[in-house]
Amino acid sequence: MSFFDKIREGLKKTKESAQNNVNAVFATFRTVDEDLLSELEDSLILADIGAELAMETVDELRERAKLKNLQDSEAVKAELCDILGEKMKPNEGLSLETAPSVILVVGVNGVGKTTSIGKLGRKLTAEGKKVLFAAADTFRAAAADQLAIWADRCGADIVRHAEGADPSSVIFDALSAAKARGCDVVICDTAGRLHNKKNLMNELAKMNRIIDRELPGASKETLLVIDATTGQNGIVQAESFNEACTLTGIILTKLDGTAKGGIVINISNKLGVPVKFVGVGEKAEDMLDFEPQEFVKAFFE
Ligand SMILES: Nc1nc2c(ncn2[C@@H]2O[C@H](COP(=O)(O)OP(=O)(O)O)[C@@H](O)[C@H]2O)c(=O)[nH]1
Ligand SMILES: [Mg+2]
């Protein structure tokens, strides 16, 4: 299945509502006038694109429609899709040049970190890479158990410690094991239950120090997992993490569970960080590489 077909399938809920709204606007299309533009702005806000970005988008559409003298509804809709696609950072995929390389997965509790690591592990092992999971969410034993099940499923190794252990020591051991075993990628699960921003910053800084010390010059991705169903709150979370560490990408989960997929565009635009993957279900294969232009097309098509 192509990205286009899969996203269509996974985004049924999202698509139906966004489509209904935007298509309803275009159904009564006569010309690009202020009525049409303000109805479009409303439908974009309803899709969770955010008021500011919706206004910006509509302003650009007004200008481009005039400049290019766009007359029919198809041309105007295509222009709208282009504009929205350009609002997102292009996705150049994961940068995993060194062996081992490291992927640090961060985000608040329950957003889908462990599940996304399992999906990512499946994808990378299928590409022939030797993958090792680091169970650095040590708050509950169940967290490492959950990761171990995923490791088992996709044929990844796992390094875990007892409940309550220092997360950074798990990372340290995982990196040593990865070097000794000749692994290609270490994917680190982390806890989302950090009580405040200072605590979060300290913990992430410590993990990063260990990675930089043990694997100087290694490729490192820091992926923030955001639950699409939390809407605008996801942006607030993202801003905190963006201050605590340098994010290289976003995994947006549970897009199958929201009628407001516009949040993808808003988050990518606000943070200036590319969305690299989207989760569209709970199964191992329910994660897609993200392509901004294709996404927008599937979204409004
Ligand atoms: N529908 C749906 N559920 C998801 C997705 N990703 C994760 N989940 C579910 O969200 C819940 C929390 O996921 P988990 O990986 O444990 O979150 P963590 O606390 O961040 O590690 C689990 O029930 C997952 O099955 C997704 O893309 N779609
Ligand atoms: Mg977890």
Q: What CA–CA distance (Å, rounded) separates 224 from 240?
A: 11
Q: Is ligand 1 within 6 A of the CB of residue 256?
A: yes
Per-residue pLDDT of the chain (301 residues; tens, 9 = 90+): 666 666 666 666 655 555 567 777 888 888 889 999 999 999 888 888 889 999 999 999 999 999 999 988 889 999 999 999 999 999 999 999 999 999 999 999 999 999 999 999 999 999 999 999 999 999 888 999 999 999 999 999 999 999 999 999 999 999 999 999 999 999 999 998 766 778 888 889 999 999 999 999 999 999 999 998 887 788 888 888 888 888 999 999 998 887 677 888 998 999 899 999 999 999 999 999 999 998 888 777 6
Quote the CA–CA distance of 272 and 217 in Å, as a whole number: 24
What single DSSP character describes residue 140? -
* pTM, to two decimals: 0.91
Q: Which helix (H) or strand (E) holds 225?
A: strand 220-227
CB-proximal residues (5 Å) to ion ligand 2: 113-114, 143
- Is the beta carbon of 285 within 6 A of some atom in ligand 1? no
Nearest atom (ligand 1) to Cα of 115: 15
HSE-up (13 A, CA, CB side) for residue 253: 26
CA-proximal residue: ligand 1, atom 4 (nearest)? 282
- Could you give the CA distance from residue 168 to residue 209 in angstroms, rounded to a whole number? 9
Give the Cα separation of 128 and 140 in Å (integer).
31
Ligand 1 neighbour 114 (Cβ under 6 A) = yes
Calculate how far, in angstroms, residue 142's C-alpha sits from the geometric centre of ligand 2. 9
**How many angstroms from the chain centroid is the CA of residue 75?**
30
